[in-house]
Amino acid sequence: MKLIVGLGNPGAKYAANRHNIGFMALDRIAEDHGFSPWKARFQGLAAEGRLGDARVTFLKPQTFMNLSGQSVGEAMRYLKVTPSEVIVLHDELDLAPGKCRVKQGGGHAGHNGLRSIHQHIGADYHRVRLGIGHPGHKDRVAGYVLSDFAKTDGDWLDDLLRGISDGAPALAQGDSARFQNLVAARTQPARNSGTMPVPAATAKAPPAPAVPDQPASLTDKLRQLTDRFR
């Protein structure tokens, strides 16, 4: 059993916020992989299904971000899973938009949702860090994460969510390298598929054939004789 958690804030007001990319990712995976409908459980919304050979419970805490650990801790105790069987998907300011990294353990880097989870279950869980970029100054962070993605973010965001869904079975089975490769296949497609012919090196052109001398005309011969007797 794996518990996969997406972080965000509840309600339509926050649905398209950058802070809610964890919710967005779980919604995409659940839809693509035929999970059960979302139901109110564990102070959140939960859905169940399978990813490859793994039996999985999804959880979107409805406690607001800074109390996410309450929901995660309750679900863990009920499902009898350890922190190492928990995977948390969350927004990451320190990664460029569209980037994705997986890690286990470590600090919370000031992320309120992770801070709360640390307080309730410790730090030994897996995280999927989903890059949203940084606004440039720490004083702008709160407004930035609580504002909606821009329209210009639509393409990379859709590619990232599709990649996460593609790689979800590998993630659930603990193969983080394969998961990240499948995400990258969506977000960093090969620029040259090999279908276009590569131009061959230009061959050195052969020298032009020599043009034979033309016989002198009668006028030329008379001019030559005149010149001789001057």
Catalytic residues: 19
Q: What are phi and psi of 55, to 5 degrees?
A: -85, 130
Closest CA to 182 of 59, 51, 20: 51
Q: CB neighbours of 22 closer than 8 A, spacing ≥ 6?
A: 5, 6, 7, 8, 60, 88, 89, 90, 91, 113, 130
Residue type, 129: R
Residue located via tokens 């035929």: 34
> How far apart are alpha carbons 195 and 90 in whole angstroms?
38
Q: According to DSSP H, which parts of the chain are helical?
A: 21-32, 68-79, 112-121, 141-145, 154-172, 176-187, 218-228
